[in-house]
Amino acid sequence: MKGTLLITLLLFIFSCKERSSTLSNQKKNDTTTYTYNGYHNFMKLMLFSNKKFKYTYQDHPELGQFKVTGNYVKFDKSISLKPLDYEKCIYVESNDTFRFNCTKLKNGHKIKTQYDILEWKNNNYLLSEESDFIHTVNGENDDYQRFINYYNQGFEPIKHGKYLISKTKKTNDLELDKDVFPKKYRKLLLDKPIIANIISIDKKEDDKSSFYLEIKIDKGANDNVSVGLTFLDDNDSCYITITNVLKNESIGRTGYYGDISEVCNLKQELRTRWNKHTNEHSKQP
């Protein structure tokens, strides 16, 4: 009798553990995570099955981490976030040890709230047309521009820019469908690289007393150049974003420190993509 009770008890405990493990795995599977990891900075968006989200980001360790929580709505090809609570977390020293100390914020930093879902290769991308203080890279204003520049330069779908991505086991081997992009971005997606030369360089100063270079190249609208495209040299040192397009010429800008000649030079060749950056989606002649 005792043996029967013992076996029954063990079976009950085992079944409870099994159920707990199943629920735990199910909970993990019900959470979708999108991430970006850079040098000293990162972004992480967790979407829970109860329609809650947690967004954590860091620009630099010395600035701490920011956490935003709230609700979200997922549509067929888009996600909308509704932030409710904000926290700032910093490392503090206590008794020769460091711990994370978080403080509630009444008004947190603005984050992007409207995302489109792009599925390509084995990546699910979250791309937004919105701009916030987290995403300011080389004058690019939004996720679409950064994705397009990484695509044109041959990095995608293997290396990624500063936008949110979730890896998937399902692989979409089709070519990138330009029609899924908002209309204003489609002409920026290039089928082949554009090759140009610098014809003038001017030093400028903006309203914040910061200097930049205004660079004119010998390719324009007739060569499929559009505002927002990025050109770079073979060493990635001269990097310009197009701000104005004429018929046969275009104007771009880039920041610089020190000697202008260490950044860009007259007659220097710039391209939207170089051989060393070419990945599987495009082959350069």
Q: Read off the CATH number of the domain in which 230 is found.
A: 2.40.30
Q: 18 Cβ partners below 8 Å, 6+ apart?
A: none
pLDDT confidence bin for 206, thresholds 50/70/90: confident
Residue 177 CA, chain-centre distance (Å), reads 19
Query: Within 13 A of 36's CA, how many CA atoms are on the CB side?
Result: 24
Q: Domain end: 127, 162, 186, which one?
A: 186
pLDDT tens-digit series, residues 10-41: 334 444 454 454 444 444 558 999 999 988 88
List the one residue out of 105, 106, 92 whose CA is nearest residue 66.
105
pTM of the shown model: 0.76
**Lookup: tokens for 29:** 């599977």
- Predicted local confidence at residue 57, as pLDDT: 92
Same domain, 247 and 146: no
Dihedrals φ, ψ of 183, to 5°? -55, -40
**Kind and range of the H or E element at 17?**
helix 2-29
Same domain, 173 and 112: yes
Can you tell me the mean pLDDT for 71-99? 88
Same domain, 127 and 255: no
Same domain, 122 and 235: no
Same domain, 178 and 222: no
Asked if residue 108 belongs to a domain, the reply is: yes
Tokens 């029609």 sit on residue: 179
What SS3 state is found at 26?
A: helix
DSSP letter (8 states) at residue 257: -
* Residue range of the domain that includes 272: 195-277
Same domain, 51 and 156: yes
- Predicted local confidence at residue 9, as pLDDT: 43
